[in-house]
Amino acid sequence: MKQSFKKRSFTRTFSISLQNRLILTYGIFISLALGSLTLIINIFTGVIFTALVKNNIAEKSREIVKAIEEQYNPMSRSFDTVTIEAIGMYFVHDGYIVTVEDEQGNLLWDARSCDMRECMGVINSIAERMEGQFRLGGTMQTQPFPVTYAHRTVGTVIIETYGPFFYSETETRFLTSINRLLLMAAALFTLMSIVISMILSRAIAKPILRAEEAARRIAAVHSSSAKAEQLVIRVNEQYKTKELADLSRSINELAAELEEGERRQKQLSSDIAHELRTPLACLQGDIEAMIDGVYHADRKHLESCHEEIIRLAKLVQDLNTLTSLEWENITLNKSDFDLAKLLRITAEQWKPAALEKGIAINLDIRECQVNADYDRLKQVFINLLSNAVKYTDKGSITIGIEGIDCGVVAGSENPEKNNQIEVSFSDTGMGIPEEDLPHIFERFYRTDKSRSRTTGGTGIGLTISAAIIHAHGGTITAENNGKNSGAIFRIQL
């Protein structure tokens, strides 16, 4: 017992709630998605920006060459070295080390010779920026450009830059701002993903937790000695998510079934106690009287006890049949047979009892093939005919068939055909009080409140009949055949 408790405690300790699991799942999924998206954007932006930087370097180089070309004097066939020096030193600050040669290859101006310290400072700054900040290695690369005038080469400009490419200070600040913005966006989206995952998980987990709580309450109430009314526990079914709506509906159906089962169980206990009380009291009275010598243990008193025992056995049998029918545990053994023939056989069985009371059983029937459970329908017909004979003191009982042409099989699978059949049992007995008509198919309900031995039965014959007819997909109704002129029971299949 202690090991079992420890095992349950261990399981609870390391379990994770559905809501937390959903938060974790959604959070990881959305974070991975946003992280992947940020990485793709970063790579894509880097590729585009690198292409743009390379294009800027090429444009800047052409700009330098053009500026130097403008310093060529065709009359003297020489360059303005003073202006070239100003141009060269200007572009040194942007990372371009310029060297200019004339058409014979003689050196006209060299940035390194002019200011070696400045050039090395710029080169080292670019190298540190590219290798330290952006992790992009490289070396100094030179590229010669011809200086032309009137389609004639008049010199050469050699431009040395950090390669394969480098970022200027402006481009570095821009790229740093972009990366910072992407990181901030990633952090913001991650926070949003956590919030969204919490909202989504709560929206999904809340109905499930409500269903769990309802199920726990239902189990607690059902396991206790609670009344059926306390099982009226329902959860909201108005969810747009189909699975959640189905789950809530299932919980409600479970509660309704348990509520109905509890009601039936308590009602059955009450009904059985009520029905067993009378025959048991009679048995107890007769047996105690014989024990005390008040009655002799003769045939008359023993037959009286035997009748009560038979009555008890019939009650138990009927209760067993009714329980199977009400809980839909019955299996119908359907076959094709002539309904008129079954009614004739049933009528023949009850003719002696009818003749003894001076009443006639009339048949207004014709051959009619049906597909149904022969024995179950016979049980229904016996119950109805038994009641008709029991409650009719004079006159007659009429059994009729109406509704369809001969040969049409009732209960066929084609609903478009007019395949209904009606069997009626009409008598000229005392009829049914109007206040009792709505209740006569209820379990243990009797119109005879005295429960006499002559007319009293178990009180569930009509309930069994109704259950059998409903199992066939049909209906059974009762009505009075005019004031004080008997009753009519109609069965539609």
What average pLDDT does range 259-265 have in this prediction?
A: 69
Tell me the average pLDDT of the chain: 78
Measure the CA dihedral 399/401/406/412, to 10°: -120
CATH code reported for the domain at 330-492: 3.30.565.10
Q: Tell me: pLDDT of 182 over 80.
A: no
**Span 314-331, pLDDT tens digits:** 777 777 776 666 655 667
> Facing residues of 398 across strands?
362, 426
Q: Tell me: pLDDT of 19 over 70.
A: no
Residue 450 confidence (pLDDT): 47
**Span 451-466, pLDDT tens digits:** 444 445 556 788 888 8
More confident residue, 424 or 224: 424
Dihedral pair phi/psi, residue 295, rounded to 5°? -110, 150
Instruction: Choose from 232-246, 264-278, 467-481 the range with maximum mean pLDDT.
Output: 467-481
Spatial distance between the Cα atoms of 382 and 349, rounded to a whole number of angstroms: 9
Residue 344 confidence (pLDDT): 93
Spatial distance between the Cα atoms of 231 and 456, rounded to a whole number of angstroms: 35
CATH code reported for the domain at 18-187: 3.30.450
Residue 417 confidence (pLDDT): 47
What average pLDDT does range 84-108 have in this prediction?
A: 89
Residue 14 confidence (pLDDT): 43
Please state whether the peptide bond connecting residue 438 to the residue before it is cis, i.e. omega within 30 degrees of 0. Answer: no
Neighbour count for residue 135 (Cβ, 10 Å): 7
Place of tokens 């490289």: 138
Closest CA to 128 of 166, 84, 179: 166
Spatial distance between the Cα atoms of 106 and 402, rounded to a whole number of angstroms: 128
Report DSSP letters for 328-356, one per residue: T-----EEEEEHHHHHHHHHHHHHHHHHH
Contacts of 111 (CB under 8 A, 6+ apart): 88, 89, 92, 97, 98, 99, 118, 119
